[in-house]
Copies of this chain bind each other. A is one copy, B any other.
Amino acid sequence: MSFRHADILSAAQFSRAQIEQWFARADDLAARLARGERLRTLDGKMLATVFYEPSIRTRLAFEAAMQRLGGGVLSLADAKTATAISGEPLPDVIRAVAHLADVIVLRHPDAGAACVAANASAAPIINAGDGTGEHPTQALLDLYTLRAERQTLDGLHVALVGDLKHSPAVHSFARTLSEFQVEFSFVTPAALAMPTAITDDLRERGFSVEETNDLARSLQTADVVYMTRVCKERFSDLKQYEKLKDFYLLTRALIEKAKPGLSVLHPLPRANEIAAEVDALPNAAYFRQVKNGVVIRMTLLADILAD
């Protein structure tokens, strides 16, 4: 499919061929930026960020990507407060912003909010995290980073660790990985397990999916570990959160006992699940993910807003 003027709502929209085409373009953009080339592909276009929950990396990476392509930015960093008094519903906000901008990046606490927005909008919607739903552009940058770290996306054993119940990034990442030949380990306490819809789908399509709560053991065979923060904001019972928040901690000692060459990813922000001592190891790819986030968003915006 073409993504010209299309919404990006779910990683289920991404085929292997599409992903590979985007990554080739992202490589090209990265090379041009590295040469100091000034791009003006989206000169005269406008991107709006509409964020009902804060996000530093995602909002700023989209705003940086748009500006690095010569486009303009409208920033609504706190849509929750801006709509608090009037109680203006999401579709009204989106319908209005769609008349001000050429593309809208939406972050919202409710799963499905990006679909609601897309139905209301005359402009393409990019889902930048809809509660426990999906975060498809995060998955693309995760995958792009993984390709840079491993040179291939096939034949990898990937352990997804932590709050697989709530993290929209991990839902999208699992879907995207399933376009490649991978094995999965889902490493969680029982209360934070991956939604069965995703696990069942992967198994039906023939993937090996291990479910375990034993991080150390899963690291014996994993090539990649994708850590996640326990999403405090999704717990109605904070006592439950307190019990679960420190369930896993990836340390230098654990990495030393793991399969050699382990790649460590994290969508960030982290809370307590990766020790600071890990940051200096070559395994730690999570700050490289941030950098890749700009070039991936540049690729998507150029595609969606192509004339």
Q: Which residues of A contact B (CB under 8 A)?
A: 36, 38, 43-44, 46, 48, 54-57, 60-61, 63-64, 67-68, 72-79, 81-83, 85-88, 91-93, 95-97, 99-101, 229, 232-233, 268-271, 276, 287-288, 290-291, 293-294, 307
Q: A290-B99, A291-B99 are in contact. Are A60 and B72 (CB under 8 A)?
A: no
- With a cutoff of 8 Å between Cβ atoms, the chain B residues found around residue A67 in the complex are 46, 72-73
CB within 8 A of A268: which of B64, B73, B92, B288? Answer: B92
- Measured between beta carbons, the chain B residues less than 8 angstroms from A99 are 287-288, 290-291, 293-294
Q: How far is the CB of A28 from chain B (nearest CB, A)?
A: 17
In the complex, chain B residues whose CB is within 8 Å of the CB of A79: 56
**In the complex with contacts A63-B74, A294-B99, A93-B271 CB distance below 8 A:** no
Could you say which residues of chain B place their CB within 8 Å of the CB of A270?
A: 86, 88, 92
Q: Is the CB of B76 within 8 A of A56?
A: yes
Pick the contact of A85: B93, B232, B268 (CB < 8 A).
B232
- Could you give 28 example pairs across A and B, Cβ below 8 Å? A44-B68, A46-B68, A48-B60, A54-B83, A56-B76, A56-B79, A56-B83, A56-B88, A56-B97, A57-B96, A60-B76, A60-B101, A64-B72, A67-B73, A78-B78, A78-B81, A83-B269, A86-B269, A86-B271, A88-B268, A88-B269, A92-B269, A93-B269, A96-B268, A99-B287, A99-B290, A99-B291, A100-B290
How many copies are assembled?
3
Residue of B nearest to A75 (CB): B75
Residues of chain B contacted by A77 (CB below 8 angstroms): 75, 77-78
Q: Which residues of B contact A232 (CB under 8 A)?
A: 85-86
A117 → chain B closest CB, angstroms: 14
Contact B96 A56 (CB under 8 A): yes
> 8 tightest A-B contacts by CB?
A88-B269, A67-B72, A54-B82, A99-B291, A86-B269, A99-B290, A38-B44, A96-B290
**Residues on the B chain within 8 Å of A56, using CB:** 76, 79, 82-83, 88, 93, 96-97
Known: A46-B67, A64-B100, A287-B96. A233 touches B72 (CB 8 A): no
Q: What residues on B are CB-neighbors of A61 within 8 Å?
A: 100
Cα–Cα, bound, A32→B148 (Å): 44
Shortest CB-to-CB span from A90 to chain B, Å, is 11
Alpha-carbon distance between A93 and B56 when the two chains are bound, in angstroms: 8
B44 contacts A294, CB within 8 Å? no
CA–CA, A46 and B232, complex, Å: 32
Distance to closest chain B CB from A264 (angstroms): 14
Distance in Å: Cβ of A143 to nearest Cβ of chain B: 18
- Beta-carbon contact of B72 and A54 below 8 Å: no
Residues of B within 8 A of A44 (CB): 36, 38, 68
Q: Which residues of B contact A46 (CB under 8 A)?
A: 64, 67-68
* Cβ–Cβ < 8 Å partners of A75 in chain B: 75, 77
